[in-house]
Chain A
Amino acid sequence: MSDRKFQPETLAIHAGQIPDAATGARALPIYQTTSFVFDSAEHAASLFNLQTFGNIYSRLSNPTVAALEERVAALEAGRAAVASASGMAAEAMALMTLLQSGDHVVAAGALYGGTVTMLAVSLAKFGIEVTFVDAQRPEAFAAAMRPNTRAVYAETLGNPSLVVLDIAAVAEVAHAHGVPLVVDNTVPSPYLCNPLALGADIVVHSATKYLAGHGTTLGGVMVEGGKFPWDNGKFPGMTEPSAGYHGVKFYETFGDFGFSMRARMETLRVYGASLSPMSAWQILQGVETLPLRMERHCRNALAVAVFLRSHPRVAWVNYPGLADHAQHALVLRQMRQVDGVPGASGLLAFGVKGGVAQGVKFIESARFMSHLVNIGDTRTLISHPASTTHRQLDEAQQLAAGVLPDMVRISVGLEHIDDILWDIDQALSATLD
């Protein structure tokens, strides 16, 4: 038997889950328990000291949750992962482990609205500053770096701007300043893009979206690449004895998964946004079919983009999978091929001719396309970001996040493409009334 590099289709089913040691159960058991017994006082002490690896309490770790963690780590070709109660919790865990009062973040402007609020408002309360820059210009990231910058943050595919990040170029900027690049890879999912392989250091996911894929369950995952040199002098929290955990030096003790261990023990354990075992199990049911679903999402979305582009009621279409998209060359370089073209996810945006009122009319005229704010569901979902996900932002912030007033976002689902195009067409026709 030799080491084999398994393909994502295989990892999506097998990584992180071998048959249960106690029962031989082939499918993943749900370990719905808060706590785990100690064999002895000595065993308990060793577990708490991290000298013996094992479970103590499900806020820290749980065997069902661990299966999801290892599976996403494997799909991202990362070193280790930590799951959380939602995608926002995964982002918060990554940033709150990295940053402290007085630090500065350089972030892409084209971000999910909740992330903008976290950076600009919530973390600002703790004395962390942020500068938002144009995600399409790596030199803008470089120009915003300061001596106290400790993280660069961006999305692989901006939601809903669909701005494509040049991961290798921005990673180079971050590394030249000795700081890690943190990337939200939710929209492509690990099947279409692996940011760690392109130079990113930490990946976060809302597992609620394509990873789960069924729109039933909230969850998040943070993945560590394992290559960042935490001993470069800028991250004493990684190299000095931890005040938050028994004086452990996380980088020295755990090496290339030291950041994950620190996130688990200092941030997840303390702030408590842990994923429930039942939710991890439900998300994993979806992960098993991630590659199959992503292929169909991409195929359907490309067909929708082509259809919309030639539709007389449509003002503009933004889908990075279109060959004439301004950033298509970058998409070609970073994304997996589906049907011989780069897969750009099921997410696209367009403007209905006439503006905001017609956009709202389109949304209200849909038959089975659902008006809601999630993405990455089996169902086709539509929304108007300016009045929903990004409504907390003022108009300038909305434009910086790539949200135009007439923008309609579609998360193209897995229904038959003919039916999807029919529903879009009849809803567009209704905008004439």
Chain B
Amino acid sequence: MPVDTIALRRILQSCRTIAVVGLSAEWHRPSYFAAKYMQSHGYRILPVNPRYAGSSVLGMACVARLEDLDEPVDMVDVFRRSEDVGAIADSAIALGAKCLWQQIGVVNREADARARAAGLDSVMDRCVKIEHARVFGGLHWAGVNTGVISARRMG
């Protein structure tokens, strides 16, 4: 099932807390780009990466695994290899997340199907930052075809 602009807008408006699995602390990595952008747009970013567990990334305490989080999560955003997503999807379902999001290049169809069967929204092979910017007009800046046609100001 393709995820259209309307669905993306609903997902990105309803999910406010995002656990970013595989978030790097290096500024030039895509995961850092995306999480920093989402944080600056008001989302609560929860870093998940064993490499930085116990320290902080983007000013937020980093944990090793999703199970180590001690607060509710709306979205689990995955920057890991496709074959690792199955276990992450199961954790996301167990945590009661509303959305499983696999980043560009991350495609695990079984995990996608399991998440959907459990009632979660599921997005594959897309960047959360790019889609946020596209559906809310921000990518217009870069000459991107946002698909936004409207006679109202962008709020």
- Provide the residues of chain A in CB contact with B37, threshold 8 Å: 51-53
- Provide the residues of chain A in CB contact with B153, threshold 8 Å: 18-21, 24
The docked-state distance in angstroms from the alpha carbon of A253 to that of B26 is 14
- Interface flag for A232 (CB, 8 Å): no
Q: Is the CB of A260 within 8 A of B40?
A: no
Number of interface residues of A (CB under 8 A): 51
Q: Is the CB of B145 within 8 A of A53?
A: no
The docked-state distance in angstroms from the alpha carbon of A259 to that of B134 is 17
A85 shortest CB reach to chain B, Å:
15
Which segment, of B64-72, B111-119, B136-144, faces chain A?
A: B136-144
The docked-state distance in angstroms from the alpha carbon of A416 to that of B129 is 52
- Interface flag for A261 (CB, 8 Å): yes
- Provide the residues of chain B in CB contact with A2, threshold 8 Å: 6
Q: Which of A24, A61, A247, A252 has the most CB of B within 10 A?
A: A252
The docked-state distance in angstroms from the alpha carbon of A16 to that of B142 is 11
Q: Contacts A2-B6, A252-B30; is A53 near B143 (CB within 8 Å)?
A: no
A18-53 CB contact bits vs B (8 Å, 1 = yes)? 111100101000000000000000000010011111
- Provide the residues of chain B in CB contact with A253, threshold 8 Å: 30, 33
- Provide the residues of chain A in CB contact with B143, threshold 8 Å: 61, 66, 69-70, 73, 80-83, 260, 264
- Interface flag for A257 (CB, 8 Å): yes
A residues near B (Cβ < 8 Å) are 1-4, 6, 10-11, 14-16, 18-21, 24, 26, 46, 49-55, 61, 63, 66, 69-70, 73-74, 77-83, 241, 246-249, 252-255, 257, 260-261, 264
Pull 17 A–B residue pairs with CB atoms less than 8 Å apart, ordered by A. A11-B149, A18-B137, A18-B152, A21-B153, A21-B154, A26-B151, A51-B32, A53-B37, A54-B141, A55-B141, A66-B142, A78-B145, A80-B139, A81-B145, A252-B105, A253-B33, A254-B130
- Provide the residues of chain A in CB contact with B82, threshold 8 Å: none
- Tell me what chain B mostly uses at the interface: helix, strand, loop, or mixed: loop
- Interface flag for B12 (CB, 8 Å): no
Q: Is the CB of B40 within 8 A of A53?
A: no
- Interface flag for B147 (CB, 8 Å): yes
Q: Is the CB of B28 within 8 A of A19?
A: no
B35-77 CB contact bits vs A (8 Å, 1 = yes)? 0110010000000000000000000000000000000000000
The docked-state distance in angstroms from the alpha carbon of A66 to that of B148 is 14
B19-33 CB contact bits vs A (8 Å, 1 = yes)? 000000001101011
Give the residue name and chain of the B residue nearest to A242 (CB). B28
A3, A46, A49, A83: the one within 8 Å of B147 (CB): A3
B12 shortest CB reach to chain A, Å:
15
Q: Is the CB of B144 within 8 A of A255?
A: no
Q: Contacts A16-B140, A73-B144; is A10 near B149 (CB within 8 Å)?
A: yes
B18 shortest CB reach to chain A, Å:
16
Give the residue name and chain of the B residue nearest to A23 (CB). B153
Q: Is the CB of A50 within 8 A of B130?
A: no
Number of interface residues of B (CB under 8 A): 35
- Interface flag for B133 (CB, 8 Å): yes
The 7 residue pairs across chains A and B that have the minimum distance between CB atoms: A69-B143, A73-B145, A80-B144, A81-B143, A255-B104, A14-B149, A18-B150
The docked-state distance in angstroms from the alpha carbon of A249 to that of B137 is 23
The docked-state distance in angstroms from the alpha carbon of A46 to that of B28 is 11
Q: Is the CB of B149 within 8 A of A261?
A: no
Give the residue name and chain of the B residue nearest to A254 (CB). B130
Q: Is the CB of B145 within 8 A of A46?
A: no
- Provide the residues of chain B in CB contact with A74, threshold 8 Å: 145, 147
- Provide the residues of chain A in CB contact with B141, threshold 8 Å: 53-55, 61, 63, 66
Give the residue name and chain of the A residue nearest to B35 (CB). A51
B32, B33, B126, B140: the one within 8 Å of A66 (CB): B140
- Interface flag for B127 (CB, 8 Å): yes
Q: Is the CB of B140 within 8 A of A241?
A: no
Q: Which of A50, A54, A248, A255 has the most CB of B within 10 A?
A: A255
- Provide the residues of chain A in CB contact with B151, threshold 8 Å: 18-19, 26
Q: Contacts A3-B5, A18-B154, A19-B151; is A79 near B144 (CB within 8 Å)?
A: yes
Beta-carbon contacts under 8 Å, B7-23 to A: none
- Provide the residues of chain A in CB contact with B30, threshold 8 Å: 249, 252-253
Q: Which of A66, A82, A247, A254 has the most CB of B within 10 A?
A: A254
